[in-house]
Structure 1
Amino acid sequence: MNLRAIQAAAVANKVAKGLNVSDVALEFALLTAEVGEAITAWRRGLPDFGEELADIQLYLVAVADMTGVDLQDAVERKMRINESRVYRRDARGVPIKVT
């Protein structure tokens, strides 16, 4: 299943269950909560870490859909941009974008 199909299926599931599909601020809040749950699962070595990452993905595609973003196109475009970037490390070893 590609990202576009995941986005469509996630939103269809939310619609079918009567969940939020219009309040962007609420969806960002719920996404933030899921990030917190994922970091907790990772830090504690819990077996549901992957499920928490999946929750993040599902909330993210919902935000994209609510705001009219085809996330697959956006990710592919951003990956092309990132591939062309050049970095150098400063005196502290921190990567600094130069292009």
Structure 2
Amino acid sequence: MMEIREIQQLAWANKVAKGFNTSDVPLEFGLLTAEVGEAFTAWRKGLPDFGEELADVLLYLVAVAEMTGIDLAAEAERKIAINSARVYRAGANGTLVRHE
């Protein structure tokens, strides 16, 4: 199974090799947003390509990370540690609210 760092590197190498966008961050966010919409539509309609659409979301996400110099694996590990230490309680309307 591939690690996030490897996926980020391979996705980037593919973009470079194929001549895809490697510098326009706003464009890449727009394309990422479109892929999230495609994944949602595939899930909502029960289409067989839902997994492929989720993979597209991942590939666009790691491309944004690479464009901006972010080690997404390290950031995800850091964020998981932060989230695991957080405490949530039910708010007045039943929604979970972070408790300091």
Q: Distance in 1 between the 2:39 and 2:60 partners?
A: 13
Counterpart of 2:78 in structure 1 is 77
Which stretches in structure 2 are left out of the alignment for 5+ residues? none
Q: Distance in 2 between the 1:22 and 1:84 partners?
A: 36
The number of residues matched between the two structures is 99
Identity of aligned residues (%): 67
Counterpart of 1:97 in structure 2 is 98
1:97 match: secondary structure: strand
Counterpart of 2:67 in structure 1 is 66
Q: 1:22 aligned to 2:23? A: yes
Q: Distance in 1 between the 2:17 and 2:91 partners?
A: 51
Q: Distance in 1 between the 2:92 and 2:33 partners?
A: 34
Which stretches in structure 1 are left out of the alignment for 5+ residues? none
Quote the RMSD (CA, aligned, Å).
0.5
Q: Distance in 2 between the 1:62 and 1:86 partners?
A: 32
How far did residue 65 of structure 1 move? Answer: 0.3
Q: Distance in 1 between the 2:42 and 2:33 partners?
A: 14
Counterpart AA for 2:90: R
How far did residue 93 of structure 1 move? Answer: 1.0
Q: Distance in 1 between the 2:82 and 2:33 partners?
A: 26
How far did residue 9 of structure 1 move? Answer: 0.3
Q: Normalization by structure 1: what TM-score?
A: 0.98
Counterpart AA for 1:57: L
